[in-house]
Chains A and B, each alone.
Chain A
């Protein structure tokens, strides 16, 4: 392969605005992109915010044990808690009206029940942090799985072309024709209706597992990632270095993995942060509708759903997890813009809802 390393990379790497040719000469494309990204202050701030949210959510058990001192997955309807030296009921029966409802404790602005409790008397802040772990885990995992599936299908379709491409692209078009939420709803209703889970040979699908929403979200978005990637594979396959490798007698696998894949992977990397932003929003929506993360587990979406009934009495239950979602998705969108500008200043890549 040594002789192909001499292939001039000139036209492949473009100058970003305000960058001199000397700054990028002789450096690998990855180094150049890394430099550009680190210099982009907005993108770095976004990365910092995202890391901060991830760290906060990872500290959820610590927060629950040492600051909130409650179990956020255990209902606490009769308990009391200490607020400014006074013992207060965590959940009070609603005065007046029919007396059927309950009013959980509001924000105490101290360690226990920092932003109040939900209908079950559970500490909402601790739940938001635990819920963040679920949301982030599902969002990241489904975006990665989705991108890997799309990359594989795009490589096969773009490399073999002909009927392989036709069949794969038609299947992708078919999935594309379904509204994202409705396809996810159909898959989720079928997979979640059996409480004891489905058995497919050695595989058991446990409805309470995070893998059910993860795979549903991953599959639903495959066509959205597949389309730009396939175009990229088709154009790279026409390049001279691929032709040269073919004339050397390179095997199909070598062509796909050492000649085409490295030139397509940047598109996948540019799409990834934007995909994670999209999948986190989708997970929140599905959990809000009751078909994502299942109780007693929590995610940002399920907590907003819990807060719906308390919206006018205890609005923070619904507002706080939403703020976490907005900050996470915003940081990923800004970071995604930065990554795109760093890797390919003139590219036009968009992820649509």
Chain B
């Protein structure tokens, strides 16, 4: 187990290194692109371009430029965005991260509860009209663009039905930190949570249903039934527990992907000032230092999450350790 953890962590560090190199190459070494112009924001002054050239050491060879960039990102943390009034990039990301995390965490709670419930209902009612109906609903859920769904939700809760008793409690778009007012934090995030989780509820319910149906014919399920356990007991205690292995590993990766940037569209539509909205604003003003930093942040988070998932998984299920 210890050897496995060490090997996995070494692999993780190598991937982290490769991520920084690849991102650096995309932004600084794409042929035909002058990075100093791109990094200076829109319509830069010649003096800004000169300052950018100096800041990133663009007159020096590529490996030194890479080292300078990494020093600014990770050690001195003073990478400055020129497009956006000398915004310090790293602190900006760190202060936006809790918003993203709040959004993804709440959505994750909803999608775990929702998809397990729907998956169990589908399997229980297999053969009646409920199962295909829920299957179609789940498919519709995974077929909706999340930003469009968010706009429809906004239209209903912020405008068309805002003055009725149903949605008059919905606060305007935006965010209140948990530390400032937990109740307002909760109210602001309810609809973003629901919007973001619908896609995942659909996807996970389908996966869970397929896994449960596969487990149904296993010997241990037959044994449990033969022993006289109630159908519900077999379903929840024996079948669900086995099926959750796939579920848990998928969950870890999706959670990582969402915190690492996948929640961007939801943040944009609901005006939540997380890392995704930071990236989006940087994109609108072509603020390349911010985009580069958020890309590296996102990829780092995903890589670290997937290493953690592998380690937890190996701890739970000894069969995969040698692999």
Q: Do A and B bind each other?
A: yes
Question: Which residues of A does B touch, CB under 8 Å?
Answer: 170, 173-174, 177-183, 185-187, 189-191, 193-194, 198-200, 277, 281, 284-285, 288-291, 301, 304, 307-308, 311-312, 315, 318-319, 322, 325-326, 329-330, 333-334, 348, 350, 352-353
Contact present for A330 and B140 (CB under 8 Å): yes
Given A179-B302, A182-B261, decide whether A326 and B295 contact each other with a Cβ distance below 8 A. Answer: no
Against A, the Cβ 8 Å flags (1 = close, 0 = not) of B141-163 are 01111111101101100111000
Contact present for A291 and B283 (CB under 8 Å): yes
Contact present for A182 and B299 (CB under 8 Å): yes
Contact present for B283 and A198 (CB under 8 Å): no
Cβ-Cβ contact count across A and B, 8 Å cutoff? 150
How many angstroms between the C-alpha atoms of A281 and B147 in the bound complex? 10
Which of B56-64, B117-125, B286-294 forms contacts with chain A? B286-294
How many angstroms between the C-alpha atoms of A290 and B262 in the bound complex? 17
Closest to B295 in A: A182
How many angstroms between the C-alpha atoms of A131 and B225 in the bound complex? 55
Contact present for A312 and B207 (CB under 8 Å): no
Contact present for A311 and B295 (CB under 8 Å): no
B276 to chain A, nearest CB (A): 9
Chain A CB within 8 A of B31 CB: yes
User: Which of A200, A307, A350 is packed against the most chain B CB atoms within 10 Å?
Assistant: A350
Contact present for B210 and A322 (CB under 8 Å): no
Between A and B, 29 residue pairs with Cβ closer than 8 Å are: A173-B15, A174-B18, A177-B306, A179-B295, A179-B302, A180-B262, A182-B261, A185-B291, A185-B295, A186-B292, A187-B26, A189-B38, A191-B30, A198-B31, A198-B33, A200-B32, A277-B143, A284-B145, A284-B148, A285-B146, A304-B151, A311-B155, A312-B155, A319-B152, A322-B151, A325-B145, A326-B148, A333-B139, A353-B203
Contact present for B148 and A318 (CB under 8 Å): yes
Given A174-B15, A190-B27, decide whether A179 and B145 contact each other with a Cβ distance below 8 A. Answer: no
How many angstroms between the C-alpha atoms of A182 and B146 in the bound complex? 16
Interface residues of B in 12-48 (CB under 8 A from A): 15, 18-19, 22-23, 26-27, 30-33, 38
A179 to chain B, nearest CB (A): 4
User: Which of A189, A198, A350 is packed against the most chain B CB atoms within 10 Å?
Assistant: A189
Contact present for B299 and A326 (CB under 8 Å): no
Contact present for B143 and A185 (CB under 8 Å): no
Closest to A319 in B: B152
How many angstroms between the C-alpha atoms of A350 and B202 in the bound complex? 13
Task: Pick the contact of A318: B30, B144, B151, B302 (CB < 8 A).
Answer: B151
Closest to B32 in A: A198
How many angstroms between the C-alpha atoms of A291 and B265 in the bound complex? 13
Closest to A350 in B: B207
Task: Pick the contact of A179: B33, B155, B159, B262 (CB < 8 A).
Answer: B262
Contact present for A178 and B295 (CB under 8 Å): yes
Task: Pick the contact of A288: B147, B279, B288, B294 (CB < 8 A).
Answer: B147
Which secondary structure dominates chain B's binding surface?
helix
Task: Pick the contact of A177: B31, B160, B279, B303 (CB < 8 A).
Answer: B303
How many angstroms between the C-alpha atoms of A170 and B284 in the bound complex? 33
- 9 pairs of A and B residues whose beta carbons are closest in the complex: A322-B148, A179-B261, A329-B143, A330-B143, A198-B32, A182-B261, A312-B159, A182-B295, A179-B298
Given A181-B264, A285-B147, A304-B148, decide whether A186 and B207 contact each other with a Cβ distance below 8 A. Answer: no
Q: Which residues of A contact B149 (CB under 8 A)?
A: 322
Q: Which residues of A contact B286 (CB under 8 A)?
A: 189, 193
Task: Pick the contact of B265: A194, A288, A319 (CB < 8 A).
Answer: A288
A217 to chain B, nearest CB (A): 14
Task: Pick the contact of A182: B31, B250, B298, B303 (CB < 8 A).
Answer: B298
Q: Which residues of B contact A178 (CB under 8 A)?
A: 19, 295, 298-299, 302
Closest to A278 in B: B142
Q: Which residues of A contact B19 (CB under 8 A)?
A: 174, 177-178
Q: Which residues of A contact B185 (CB under 8 A)?
A: none
Contact present for B261 and A353 (CB under 8 Å): no
Against A, the Cβ 8 Å flags (1 = close, 0 = not) of B90-127 are 00000000000000000000000000000000000000
Contact present for B262 and A181 (CB under 8 Å): yes
How many angstroms between the C-alpha atoms of A304 and B151 in the bound complex? 9
How many angstroms between the C-alpha atoms of A312 and B19 in the bound complex? 42
How many angstroms between the C-alpha atoms of A249 and B149 in the bound complex? 58
Contact present for B299 and A177 (CB under 8 Å): yes
Chain A CB within 8 A of B239 CB: no
Q: Which residues of B contact A186 (CB under 8 A)?
A: 23, 26-27, 291-292, 295
Closest to B269 in A: A308
Q: Which residues of B contact A333 (CB under 8 A)?
A: 139, 142-143
User: Which of A174, A180, A291 is packed against the most chain B CB atoms within 10 Å?
Assistant: A174
Closest to B29 in A: A190
Contact present for A311 and B154 (CB under 8 Å): yes
Chain A CB within 8 A of B280 CB: yes
A234 to chain B, nearest CB (A): 14
Chain A CB within 8 A of B272 CB: no
Chain A CB within 8 A of B257 CB: yes
A251 to chain B, nearest CB (A): 33
Q: Which residues of A contact B303 (CB under 8 A)?
A: 177
Q: Which residues of B contact A326 (CB under 8 A)?
A: 140, 143-145, 148
Chain A CB within 8 A of B208 CB: no
Q: Which residues of A contact B26 (CB under 8 A)?
A: 186-187, 190
Contact present for A177 and B32 (CB under 8 Å): no
Chain A CB within 8 A of B260 CB: yes
Contact present for A174 and B33 (CB under 8 Å): no
Contact present for A179 and B31 (CB under 8 Å): no
How many angstroms between the C-alpha atoms of A186 and B22 in the bound complex? 11
How many angstroms between the C-alpha atoms of A183 and B298 in the bound complex? 10
How many angstroms between the C-alpha atoms of A191 and B260 in the bound complex? 23
Chain A CB within 8 A of B189 CB: no
Closest to A198 in B: B32
Taking A182-B298, A326-B145 as known contacts, 11 extra A-B pairs with beta carbons closer than 8 A to each other, sorted by chain A number, are A179-B298, A181-B265, A183-B295, A190-B30, A190-B33, A193-B33, A285-B146, A289-B265, A301-B145, A318-B148, A333-B139
